[in-house]
C-alpha cells in the first residue's frame, strides 16, 4: 500500500505509465514518508471554506497580525447545528474548572490510522507532546485505510471531513497519514519532529490566541464557557472535543499486523456548539448525550476562524471535573 514499497518494480512503472496516459492525472507532491490516502471516493468534497453565516462584529477593524481572511465557499462540517453565542449577564463566584493546558496552548491535531504502517512513530511523538502544557495535542483517527484489512475502532468519517477541510484551507489537493496540523494554520508529516517543533515556534510567534475559561455555576451546576472580547477578522466556530488519554489495541490484520497500537489523546467525539463573533460572552456547554455516555477522560474547546481556519482560542480540562 506504500508508494515506497513498489515504485522501483517493473509492474509499478508500467501501471503508473498506463494510468497517466489513460487518465491524464495531475501529480501532487506529498511530504516525504507520508502515506497518501487511497484512490477511493471521497466521503466529502474538497471545496472552498466559508465563514459561518453570522454578522461579523467590528468588520471595519483590520485582522490581527498574522491572519488572512478565509476565502468564501463551502466546507465539510460535522452536520451539527451551531447556536449563536449569546451575551450573558455577569455571574459572580463561578467556580473555575482547572485547565490542563496553559491559557493559550497551540493546538496540535494528528490525523492517523491503525491501518497505516507509517503512523506508529507519529502516535508515539504525540504521546510525548501530551505531557506538555504549552500545546494541546489531539489524535483524530481516519477510516480510509480500513479497506486494507484492519478496521480502526476509533476512526470516524467526521474526522476525515475535518482533515479534508484543513487540506483545502491550506491549499492542498490530497490528504495523507500521518499528518499533523499545527494551530489550524500549517501542517507537517506527523513523525517529523524537527519540522513540527519549528511549526509550534512559528505559531507561538505568529498567531494571536485569546484566553478562555470553563467554569461551573455553583447554583445550577451548569458548565459554562467564558469568552473574552476579541478582534476577530471573521466569526470563529467553537468545537467541543472529548478524548481518552491513552488507548492500546492489539492489531492482528493489515499493515500493522502483530503490533500493539498506542494512541494518545484519542478523540472520541467532535461537537460543533457555537459561533463566536468576538463579543465577550458566556456560553452554556451541553455535551452530546452519546459522547457523555462514553465517559471520556478529557475535554477540549477549540475555536477556529470560520470553521477550519487558524485557531484563536483553546483549552483542555478533565471530563470528570466538568461532568
pTM metric for this prediction: 0.75
The pLDDT, as a whole number, for residue 31 is 46
Are 211 and 101 a contacting pair, CB within 8 Å? no
The pLDDT, as a whole number, for residue 83 is 59
Beta carbons within 8 Å of 194's beta carbon, 6+ residues apart: none
Region of residue 225 (phi > 0: left; psi between -120 and 50: alpha; otherwise: beta): beta
Residue 90 binned pLDDT confidence (cut-offs 50, 70, 90): low
pLDDT tens string 196-234: 999 999 999 988 999 999 999 999 999 999 999 999 999
The pLDDT, as a whole number, for residue 318 is 96
pLDDT tens string 258-305: 999 999 999 999 999 999 999 999 999 999 888 988 899 999 999 999
Task: Check residues 276 and 9 and name the one with the higher pLDDT.
Answer: 276
Q: Which residue has the cell 496553559?
A: 102
**How many CB atoms lie under 10 A from the CB of residue 71?**
14
pLDDT tens string 71-82: 444 444 455 556
Amino acid at each position: 500500500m506504500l508508494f515506497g514499497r513498489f515504485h522501483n518494480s517493473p509492474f509499478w512503472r508500467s501501471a503508473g505509465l498506463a494510468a497517466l496516459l489513460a487518465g491524464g492525472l495531475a501529480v501532487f507532491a506529498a511530504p516525504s514518508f507520508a502515506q497518501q490516502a487511497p484512490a477511493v471516493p471521497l466521503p466529502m468534497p474538497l471545496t472552498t471554506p466559508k465563514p459561518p453565516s453570522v454578522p461579523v462584529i467590528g468588520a471595519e477593524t483590520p485582522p490581527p497580525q498574522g491572519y488572512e481572511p478565509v476565502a468564501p465557499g463551502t466546507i465539510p462540517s460535522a452536520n451539527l447545528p451551531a447556536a449563536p453565542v449569546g451575551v450573558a449577564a455577569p455571574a459572580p463566584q463561578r467556580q473555575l474548572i482547572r485547565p490542563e493546558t496553559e491559557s493559550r496552548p497551540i493546538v496540535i491535531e494528528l490525523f492517523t490510522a491503525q491501518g497505516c504502517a507509517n503512523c506508529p512513530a507519529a502516535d508515539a511523538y504525540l504521546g510525548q507532546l501530551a505531557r506538555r502544557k504549552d500545546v494541546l495535542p489531539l489524535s483524530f483517527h481516519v477510516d480510509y485505510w480500513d479497506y486494507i484489512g484492519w478496521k480502526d475502532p476509533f476512526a470516524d468519517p467526521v474526522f476525515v471531513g475535518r482533515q479534508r477541510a484543513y487540506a483545502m484551507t491550506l491549499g492542498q489537493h490530497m490528504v495523507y497519514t500521518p499528518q499533523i496540523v499545527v494551530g489550524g494554520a500549517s501542517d507537517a508529516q506527523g513523525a517529523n519532529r524537527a519540522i513540527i517543533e519549528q511549526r509550534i515556534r512559528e505559531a507561538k510567534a505568529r498567531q494571536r490566541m485569546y484566553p478562555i475559561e470553563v467554569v461551573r455555576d455553583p447554583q445550577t451546576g451548569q458548565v459554562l464557557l467564558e469568552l473574552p472580547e476579541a478582534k476577530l477578522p471573521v466569526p470563529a466556530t467553537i468545537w467541543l472535543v472529548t478524548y481518552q488519554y491513552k488507548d492500546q489495541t492489539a492489531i492482528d490484520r493489515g499493515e500493522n499486523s502483530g503490533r500493539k497500537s498506542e494512541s494518545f489523546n484519542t478523540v472520541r467525539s467532535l461537537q460543533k456548539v457555537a459561533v463566536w463573533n468576538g463579543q465577550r460572552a458566556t456560553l452554556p456547554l451541553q455535551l452530546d448525550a452519546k459522547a457523555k455516555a462514553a465517559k471520556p477522560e478529557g475535554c477540549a474547546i477549540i475555536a477556529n476562524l470560520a470553521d477550519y481556519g487558524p485557531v484563536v482560542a483553546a483549552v483542555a480540562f478533565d471530563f470528570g471535573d466538568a461532568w
